[in-house]
Structure 1
Amino acid sequence: MNYEKISTTLKFLRLQKDMTQKQLAEKLNLTEQAISKWERSLSLPDISICPILAEIFGVDLAVILTGHLEENQEVKNNMKNLNYYICPFCGNVVVSLSEVNISCCGRPIQISVIEKATAEDKMIVEIVEDEYFITSNHPQTKDDYISFTSFATGEKIEVIKHFPEWNLEMRIPKNQHGKVIWYSKSKGLKYQLI
């Protein structure tokens, strides 16, 4: 453990919340001297206090335990290049503009790798009046179905949830061009340009 790094982070987080050592000590039922020792790298908080500190400061527990607090430097400007995080256990989907630390079902989730759809995986795109009518030949069974599709242009994204044994259909105004992105457990995360 890097005492100095953790101490610096604790002090930074306290000051960011506009708290004095006394105010923090009162929230934790500790003395000001204990907080002072932490911030001067003379000791560290007891492990049982770390989750409470994380809640007070509004950070992940790992930040308190490691002292590693870093802002994202790269925020994407184009909605077509978003990061998708998909929980392999419950199917929860999180979309972000930059890389984030996310956990679901008690486990960390990594960025899902998006691949260009092959000819057999591609969505069926038809022009109906002034819209793209998008369907798929993918079987929508309980064991294997496309759980969501999204349509991303440079400035916005629309996410549509799908369910097993329902027909996959979506309509997009024909005046828009972008990426159709979808996910199924068997094929993973795929995209197709429209």
Structure 2
Amino acid sequence: MNQYVTGAIIKELREKNHMTQAKLAEKLSVTDKSISKWETGKGYPDISLLESLAKELNVSITELIAGNAVSNANVSANMLRSKFYVCPVCGNVIHSMGEAVINCHGVRLTVCEPEQTDENHRIFIERVEDEYFVRIDHKMMKTHYISFMAAVSSDKIQMVKLYPEGNAEARFKINGVKKILFYCNRDGLFSLDVNRMTDGCSA
């Protein structure tokens, strides 16, 4: 089924909300036979019903259409569990403190999974008074560059947008920083635990 909303997600969310087909039909002013048709793929809800359907199923319209209900386990909003999404079309960087359904330029974005730094993405961190001076050993070309760097603590994120005409470096206030992350437009997201580093070290 490749329509704008699937019967499987309607059924899953209806059951999750402890509703019978008849109860959902009553709330939407349709017949329970209509609900049955939607859930078995023999019909689809009119697009004018999507807002009401999403509301009754306790999800956003985006989640309903995407077929994935978001369950956010990061209820304490610990910034160290932050997630980053990058649009492959425009390079837009979106930060979230938990699970999210995010679209940009008609593309559903997937969360960037951070990798450990490697020999092609060496990171140098130097402590300068109350700041970390961070430099990535990476050429900055229009077709291959570091898009952003971020320093993350449990309650704060500092993010610096980088551009091909500049250098792959940034300064961050040290206060509470536990992780440094950076994004290569070709190779994705990289992460480093700052606690492993000493002054002037590289990884």
TM-score for the superposition, normalised by structure 1? 0.69
> For 1:64-113, what per-residue CA distance to the aligned partner results, in whole angstroms no more than 9, with x for missing partners?
x69x7845251264312212212222211222222222221112111111
Q: What amino acid maps onto 2:123 in structure 1? A: M
Q: Specify the structure having the higher radius of gyration (Cα).
A: 1
**In structure 2, what is the Cα distance between the partners aligned to 1:100 and 1:116?**
24
Q: What amino acid maps onto 1:43 in structure 2? A: S
**In structure 2, what is the Cα distance between the partners aligned to 1:133 and 1:166?**
15
> For 1:147-183, what per-residue CA distance to the aligned partner results, in whole angstroms no more than 9, with x for missing partners?
1111101111111111111123322234433111011
Which structure 2 residues correspond to residues 23-102 of structure 1 after superposition, within 5 A?
35-36=28-29, 38=30, 40-43=31-34, 47-50=46-49, 53=52, 59-60=60-61, 63=64, 70=69, 72-75=71-74, 77=76, 78-102=78-102
Contact 1:7 1:41 in 2 (8 A): no
Q: What amino acid maps onto 2:127 in structure 1? A: I
2:32 partner SS: coil
TM-score for the superposition, normalised by structure 2? 0.66
Contact 2:151 2:180 in 1 (8 A): yes
**In structure 1, what is the Cα distance between the partners aligned to 2:12 and 2:81?**
34
Identity %, equivalent residues: 26
Task: For structure 1, list consecutive stretches of 5 or more residues without a partner in the other structure.
Answer: 13-32
1:165 partner SS: coil
Which structure 2 residues correspond to residues 37-186 of structure 1 after superposition, within 5 A?
38=30, 40-43=31-34, 47-50=46-49, 53=52, 59-60=60-61, 63=64, 70=69, 72-75=71-74, 77=76, 78-186=78-186
**In structure 1, what is the Cα distance between the partners aligned to 2:55 and 2:112?**
31
Task: For structure 2, list consecutive stretches of 5 or more residues without a partner in the other structure.
Answer: 1-6, 19-25, 36-43, 195-203
2:122 partner SS: coil
**In structure 1, what is the Cα distance between the partners aligned to 2:12 and 2:34?**
10
Q: What amino acid maps onto 2:89 in structure 1? A: F
1:154 partner SS: coil
Q: What amino acid maps onto 1:83 in structure 2? A: K
Moved more, 41-50 or 145-154: 41-50
Q: What amino acid maps onto 2:108 in structure 1? A: P
**In structure 1, what is the Cα distance between the partners aligned to 2:130 and 2:116?**
26
1:182 partner SS: strand
